[in-house]
Amino acid sequence: QKEVEQDPGPLSVPEGAIVSLNCTYSNSAFQYFMWYRQYSRKGPELLMYTYSSGNKEDGRFTAQVDKSSKYISLFIRDSQPSDSATYLCAMRDRGSTLGRLYFGRGTQLTVWP
């Protein structure tokens, strides 16, 4: 079992839709949770960064962390064609592997006009 599981999609939605992206994980030591956006053949771009459980909102993006269920989500409201990309969840712990990020395989999202 991989430490971070993410449905690769692809996910295709119309412009203006609400998008829900999810990851599950097995390591209860994970404390920091991130979402990255990666356009084709580019490096990942940090979108959201949260610590422990709870919600964080930034514009059209909301990140949720449920540590009891080992489940994290990213919601995108009023989705735009420019949101079309691969979304990667990532996480890390506070222990000896503090600097190491564990990634899901990414969900490919297409928003059509």
Partner 1 sequence: DAGVTQSPTHLIKTRGQQVTLRCSPKSGHDTVSWYQQALGQGPQFIFQYYEEEERQRGNFPDRFSGHQFPNYSSELNVNALLLGDSALYLCASSLNFGGEQFFGPGTRLTVL
How far is residue 90's CA from residue 72's CA, in Å, rounded to a whole number? Answer: 10
> Strands, DSSP E only, in the chain?
4-6, 11-14, 19-25, 30-38, 45-51, 54-58, 61-66, 71-76, 85-93, 102-103, 107-112
Q: How many beta carbons lie within 10 A of that of residue 106, not counting itself?
A: 21
What is the smallest separation between the CB atom of 54 and partner 1, expressed in angstroms? 18
- Cβ at position 109, least distance to partner 1 in Å: 15
58 near partner 1, rule: CB under 8 A:
no
Q: Which is nearer to partner 1, 1 or 68 (CB)?
A: 1
Q: How crowded is residue 71: how many other Cβ atoms within 10 Å of its Cβ?
A: 13
Taking contact as CB under 8 A, which single stretch among the options 11-19, 41-49, 57-65, 70-78 is the one that binds partner 1?
41-49
20 and 89 in contact (C-beta within 8 Å)? no
User: Which stretch in 13-21, 42-50, 52-60, 61-69 sits in contact with partner 1 by CB under 8 A?
Assistant: 42-50
Q: Of residues 66-95, which lie at the interface with partner 1 (CB under 8 A)?
A: 88, 90
Closest approach, Cβ 36 to partner 1, in A, equals 8
Complex with partner 1: residue 39 or 112, whichever CB lies closer: 39
